[in-house]
Structure 1
């Protein structure tokens, strides 16, 4: 079930993020509680919940068009959850009046293949990450 995240969901969001083994940003000093709080209370975080458990979430930054987060817990991939959550992030950016979205991901990952299949354009690299962009 898709819904907006609440501040009380932050621990569950952190658990989903850290469960994705390809995620290289598991260093808690780089993604703080304050980051989560800002995204939950400002543009909003979309999450996917099954049987009371958060199994995925997305967040976008309407200030610059960045899809800040898209994570689906292991065992829940390949069911369309990521596509729904990515759509929610892009809708947030479009509602903010933006015409393009961008994101970064590590090379040679499932995430890279997912974004390419979803029509995102690889436009360069940034700090050893791939930079993708697409029209909204």
Structure 2
């Protein structure tokens, strides 16, 4: 497995992974068009991918402008191999090298993703209006 920064030519495969997931699924795939992914990985922040055998099997994207995690998804076939944890580490190390501002994210409650973020040291701070669980991470907690 190879981890690297996401490139524009990765977007088609990023979208495949995004639509394979079983939790935090998109009600309408048109809600996240390719142009949005491109905007996030080239202007708003940065993204990373995990590739194996020429296939992207996971990705993460952080929004530096809004101080939020925009995406972290792994192909279910490659689940529980440490891919999500490494994508998370790369994303968070980069984020906190750019700023010391706290970062937030939202995820569906009572999911494996929610448990993953708790294990990574995120603090639950309530819920968004759409019902997603809201988490925050500050620089000091990340460095622990």
CA contact (8 A) 1:121 1:132 kept: yes
What is the count of residue pairs matched by the alignment? 136
Match for residue 38 of structure 2?
Answer: 37
Unaligned 5+ residue runs, structure 2? 140-144
Match for residue 136 of structure 2?
Answer: 133
* Stretch deviating more after TM superposition (37-46 or 120-129): 37-46
* TM-score, with length taken from structure 2: 0.88
Match for residue 93 of structure 2?
Answer: 91
Match for residue 15 of structure 1?
Answer: 16
SS at match of 1:29: helix
1:36-67 CA distance string (max 9 Å, x none): 01122232210000111100000000012101
Which structure has the highest helix share of the two?
A: 2
* Stretch deviating more after TM superposition (17-26 or 57-66): 17-26
* TM-score, with length taken from structure 1: 0.93
Mapped to 2, the partners of 1:98 and 1:67 lie a distance apart of 15
Unaligned 5+ residue runs, structure 1? none
Choose which of 67, 70, 81 in structure 2 pairs with 1:68: 70
Match for residue 117 of structure 1?
Answer: 119
